[in-house]
Structure 1
Amino acid sequence: MRNLNQDTITQAVIARFANTPDPRLKEIMTSLVQHLHAFAREVRLTEEEWSQGIGFLTATGQKCDDKRQEFILLSDTLGLSMLTVAMNNDKPQGCTEATVFGPFHVAGAPHYEHGDDVANGAKGEPCLVHGRVLGLDGRPVAGATIEVWQADADGHYDVQYQGLEQHRARGVLESGADGGFHFRTIVAEAYPIPTDGPVGEMLRATARHPWRPAHLHFMIKAAGYETLVTHVFRDGGPYLDSDAVFGVRQSLVADWKPLADGSYSLDFDFVLAPEKN
C-alpha cells in the first residue's frame, strides 16, 4: 500500500499482523500498535521528541547488566510492574498479597540453616526474623523454598558494591515441618532507588522522589502452591504512602519490635494460594 497518511497508517500496520500464527501474539501486537499510534496522535508527538524517546530507551538498555535491570526499574516507577502484579495475582481471601519483584534479585544466593545470619556482614542494626509458611487452610507448608533479600543501612544491595566477593543480606532457607523459619539479618531501612541512570533522569525531570519505604523481600515456592513474590514493609517509617514504585499494600506492613538487647524482631506469616489446575 502506497501513499499512507496519518489517518490510514494504523490500519495498514495492523493488517501486516493478520497472518500471525500465535493468536495471543497477534492480539498483543495489534493492541500495541493501536495504543502507540493513539498516544502519538493524542500528544502530537514531534520527531525530536520521538528521537529523544528512542535515546531514552537505548540508554535504559545500556544501563542493564547481570546485576542491574534498568528496564524493571523503569517499569516499576511507571506503575506498570505493580499493575501487572495486581492483574495476575487475584488470590483468594486470606492469602498473602504479592508485590513487585524489584531489579536486585539474583540467582544463586547462599543457602542458610534456621538461625543463621543472612546479613553476612551487611551494615545495619541486628534483627531476628520469625515466621511460618501456611496454606489457605492454615496447615503448615513444609519444605518451602524461601528466598530473602534486602538493602543495607546505607540503602545499597550487595550487588551494587564493586568487588564484593560474597553475597550479603540475601539468602535461601527452607521451611521446617511446622512451616516455620527463622533467621538473623539487619533492620530494613528506607532507601532511594538508583538514580544514576535514565530512570533517575526521568524522576528528576518530573519532580518525583526516588525513595522506597523500608522493606524485606521474599520469594516463596512450594509444590502445589503458587509462587509468592512479596515484601514485608516496616511500619511507622517514611514513604509508605509515596513509594516510588507503588508497591505498598497495608496487609504487608508489619512492626519491627525493639528488644531489650538493642536488636529488633519481626514476626510475619505467609499464606500461599493453592496452585491453579
Structure 2
Amino acid sequence: MTVEPATQDKASTYFEEARSAEVVNARMGADVDPRIKTVMASLVTHLHDFVKDVSLTSEEWFEGIRFLTAVGHTCTDWRQEFILLSDTLGVSMLVDAINHHRPEGSTENTVLGPFHVAGAPRYMNGANICLDGKGEPLVVRGKVVDHRGNPVAGVTLDTWQANDEGFYDVQQRDKQPAFNLRGVFESDEDGRYWFRSIKPRYYPIPYDGPVGEMLKTLGRHPNRAAHLHFIVMKPGYDTVVTHIFTPDCTYLPDDAVFGVKDSLIADFRHVDDAAQAERFGVANPFWLVEWDFVLAPKAAGSDADWSIETAEEDRT
C-alpha cells in the first residue's frame, strides 16, 4: 500500500526566483533551535537579496566560491585567514561593538587580531618584554580602575605587539626569540602596572593570500596603525580586548581592519632625561605612555568569565 505524504500545497515548496528565500527557509524543521532558526533565516534572506540586487552572474558566483575555498586553504595553526577576512570587512569590529555596550568612560574594545598566543610568560611589574633588545625603548605604565575610579588589584593584563620591523614573533620564528614582545602582568594593590617594551610601528596584515588579493582589487592598503594589544581581565568585570595606538601613525584614519577608536589613541611622550631613564632601566632617550584601563562590571546573566585560553581557542 502506498502512503501519501501529509496534505500540502506541493507547488509552494518548489523553487521560484521570486520566492527563493521563502522556499529555502521553509525547509527548516519544526524542532530547530529558535536562535539558529532566526540567524539562518535572516542569513538566507539577506544572501538571496544580495544575489538579486547585483544580478550575480554564474562566473561571479564561481569566483566567490573559489575565493572562499582559497581562504580556507590558507588557514593554518597560527594563521586564521577567515578572521582576517572578517577583520578587513569590518565585521569583527561590528560584532564586538554590538556585544560590548559599556557604561560611558569604560575602556572600549577593538579587534583581537590573529596573533594572540596563549601561555605567554608571566612577569613581575617592571619587566622588559623585548627579548632581543631591538627598537626604541618604551615604558608603559598606568592603573586599572572600576567605573567609579576605584583601583582594582589583581587584574591580569596580557600584552603583545609586533617588533620594530612590523612582525610578530610567530611570523619570524627563525629571527625572533619565542614570546618576544609578549607578557602577562598583574595590577598591584593600588591597581597599578608597568612594563618595558619598544615603541610600536605600523605593519601590514598578511596580504600574500586571498584576503590580500581582495584588498588589492578594492584599491586598499593592508597596513595596521601602530599599536600595543591588551587583554585586561578579572572575574566580575567585563573583559577588555583592546589596543592603544600611537598618535603619530600615518595609518590611524584608515587602519586596514577598522580597529582605531578615538578613545584608544594614547599620548606617547618622547623623553630625553638620563636620570629618568636610569630609574626605569632603559636607554636614554626613550618613549613613555601612561594609560589607565577602566573596567565595567560584568552584566548579570552574561557569559562565563572570558580567559586567555578562550581567546586562543577562538583564534584557531
Query: Scaled by the length of structure 1, what TM-score is found?
Result: 0.96
Match of 1:192 among 195, 204, 207: 204
| Larger CA deviation: 236-245 vs 9-18 | 9-18
Match of 1:226 among 232, 238, 246: 238
- Do structure 1's residue 183 and structure 2's residue 195 form an aligned pair? yes
- Do structure 1's residue 6 and structure 2's residue 17 form an aligned pair? yes
Q: Aligned letter for 2:35?
A: R
> Following superposition of structure 1 onto structure 2, how do residues 91-102 of structure 1 map, counting pairs within 5 Å?
91-102=102-113
Match of 1:62 among 70, 73, 80: 73
- Partners of 1:122 and 1:16 lie apart in 2 by 61
Partner of 1:74: 85
Deviations 1:2-36 (A, max 9, x none): 65221233211101124243111110010010011
The CA deviation at 1:209 is: 0.9
Partner of 1:88: 99
Match of 2:297 among 266, 274, 277: 274
> Following superposition of structure 1 onto structure 2, how do residues 1-277 of structure 1 map, counting pairs within 5 Å?
3-121=14-132, 123-163=134-174, 166-260=178-272, 261-277=284-300
- Partners of 2:192 and 2:215 lie apart in 1 by 40
- Partners of 1:51 and 1:28 lie apart in 2 by 25
Contact preservation (8 Å) 1:143, 1:174: yes
Contact preservation (8 Å) 2:247, 2:266: yes
Deviations 1:225-248 (A, max 9, x none): 000001100012211111111111
RMSD value over aligned CA atoms? 1.4
Contact preservation (8 Å) 1:122, 1:152: no
- Partners of 2:146 and 2:20 lie apart in 1 by 52
Q: Aligned letter for 1:262?
A: P
Q: Aligned letter for 1:31?
A: S
Instruction: Choose 1 or 2 for highest CA Rg.
Output: 2
Deviations 1:29-69 (A, max 9, x none): 10010011111111111122111111111111111122111
Contact preservation (8 Å) 2:14, 2:23: no
The alpha-carbon distance between structure 1 residues 46 and 122, as it changes in their structure 2 partners (threshold 3 A), is farther
Q: Aligned letter for 1:67?
A: W
Alignment length, in residue pairs?
A: 277
Report % sequence identity.
Answer: 51
Partner SS state of residue 142, structure 2: strand
- Partners of 1:269 and 1:162 lie apart in 2 by 32
Structure 1 stretches lacking a partner, 5+ long:
none
- Partners of 1:92 and 1:9 lie apart in 2 by 43
Query: Scaled by the length of structure 2, what TM-score is found?
Result: 0.85
Deviations 1:50-97 (A, max 9, x none): 111111111111111221111111111101111111111111011011
Structure 1 residue runs of 4 or more that deviate by more than 4 Å after TM superposition: none
- Partners of 1:39 and 1:162 lie apart in 2 by 42
The CA deviation at 1:123 is: 3.3
Partner SS state of residue 211, structure 2: helix
Q: Aligned letter for 1:173?
A: F
The alpha-carbon distance between structure 1 residues 76 and 66, as it changes in their structure 2 partners (threshold 3 A), is same
- Partners of 1:175 and 1:84 lie apart in 2 by 29
- Partners of 2:199 and 2:213 lie apart in 1 by 30
- Partners of 1:201 and 1:162 lie apart in 2 by 25
Deviations 1:132-151 (A, max 9, x none): 11111111111111110111
